[in-house]
Structures are given as structure tokens and as C-alpha cells.
Amino acid sequence: MGTLDNKVAIVSGSGRGIGREIAVKLASEGAHVVVNDLDADPAAETLAAIEAVGGKAVTCIGSVTDAGFAKRFVQTAVDTFGGLDIIVNNAGYTWDSVIQKMTDEQWDAILDVHLKAPFHILRAAQPVISGLVKQAKASGEPVPCRKVVNISSLAGVGGNAGQANYASAKAGILGLTKALAKEWGRYNVTVNAVAFGFIKTRLTEVSAGGGKITVQGREIQVGVNPDLLAAMEQLIPLGRAGTPAEAAGAVYLLCSPESDYVSAQTLVCGGGVNI
């Protein structure tokens, strides 16, 4: 028996890294998961990982920033598993530059994926959640506690040089979290955020020469110089960066029944860093 048996979850950006770990963790606790990624292959790998732990999942391929994606994402959960109980807004990437060199394209792209896309997904989910609540009340059944977990960052809590776009988006998601907690409390939905500190993923673990990822045709420089990485880890009270599995554990805490009376909060998952 899992703590999330038969709950239906959608996790954006769950083909790789932290998102994959979140999807697998929720599935291992019994949730049915809609896996999303830009590309089919990573999504299929997450699907296989979920099936390997005995879970159930389906994929929904596409960019969270595409017109019509949010409704399709939500509808996939309803059509496949019959409901919607958990929303994790995780998809995103970084495109860094100091402000005098940052282009409008950089600014818009990061705000779109980290703030506008979660807004679209939550807006698309509202009629579904409202309808399920009305249905439960009409039949005399208790209204279950549903969960929204938005992913933020220490950059959104305290800022970060070279990341004006990312920090702004991640600060904005905290405001969205608090607003939705007040709007959706009447539906018995808790809305919280997890602000990640330094988590080792493919975006950080690259060579000293740096690396690139391709996002919708754009080549974007990513990575942290190993010397800088080591220096950053020394500033973390636990003495190391976190793992994707540990990051997923923080999200799971806010999806579990034990957090049913916790809402409008930001949980910092940063190894003791206090900004």
C-alpha cells in the first residue's frame, strides 16, 4: 500500500533529472502519473522506470509553452486515469547572462517556461478540479485533499547574479503559489512551493569547458565550472550538493497526506543554506 494509491499526478518536465525522480517517486507510492517532456525518448525512459517499480503512467509529449499544451496535459490525466489530484510544475531550464547582455528573447523564454506555463496549467486544471469537488459533494462523498507543488529556487528567494530572468520567474512562482493557495483552499487543495538549492543535474555536471543543451532549436550554454562547483559546495552546511532523488523527496513531502494542512508555504531544499 502506497501513501498515494490511485492518486492521479501530472509532472511537467519529467523526462530527465529532478522531474524524472519526482515522477518515479510519486508512482512508487501508488500514484498514476502523466509524464511530460519535450522529446519522446526521455519520456519513454521515465515511463519504463515507473513500470519497473510497478507503477502506472502515460506520456504527454510537448513543450509546456506551446499553445494548447496545458489543456492537453490536464485532459490526458482525466481521459487516462479519470481524475486529477496532484500537479507538479517542474519543467524549465536556465539561460543566463548579466542584465546588460540579456536579450528580450532570453528574458521572455525563461519567464514563459517558469511562470507563464505553470499559470496556464493551473488555469486549465481549475474547471476539472472544481467539477470533481462538486461531483463529490453532490454524492455526499468527502472531498479529498489535492496538491499543487510549484518548483522554485534559491535564486527566486534571494536572487542570483547573472540570472535576472530566472530569479524573476522563480520569485513570481512564489507569488502565484500564495495566490492560488487562497483561491483553491475552498476546493481542499493545498498549494505549496519547493525552492531548490544546488542540485546536481545534467545542467550543472559538465566539464570546465561548459556544455550546451538544445531547447526548441536554441543552443543554450549550461554548466558550472568544476572549481566553482567545489567552492559552492563548501558554502552548503551539509557540505555537498543535493541529488535529484533528494530533491524529489522534498516534493513528495508536500504531496503526502501528512502535509494536508500545509499550504501557501515555500520549502527550501538546499542542504541548510539559509537566505
Q: Which residues are catalytic?
A: 166
Q: What is the DSSP string of the chain?
A: --TTTT-EEEETT-SSHHHHHHHHHHHHTT-EEEEEESSHHHHHHHHHHHHHTT-EEEEEES-TTSTTHHHHHHHHHHHHHS---EEEE-------B-GGG--HHHHHHHHIIIIIHHHHHHHHHHHHHHHHHHHHHHTTPPPPPEEEEEEEEHHHHH--TTBHHHHHHHHHHHHHHHHHHHHHGGGTEEEEEEEE-SB--TTT---TT-EEEEETTEEEEE---HHHHHHHHHTSTTSSPBPHHHHHHHHHHHHSGGGTT--S-EEEESTT---
Query: Is residue 209's pLDDT more than 70?
Result: no
pTM of the complete model: 0.93
Name all domains of the chain by residue range, CATH numbers in brackets. 8-197+243-268 (3.40.50.720)
With cut-offs at 50, 70 and 90, classify the pLDDT of residue 207.
very low
Query: Is residue 206's pLDDT more than 90?
Result: no
Which tens digit of pLDDT belongs to each residue from 9-66? 999 999 999 999 999 999 999 999 999 999 999 999 999 999 999 999 999 999 999 9
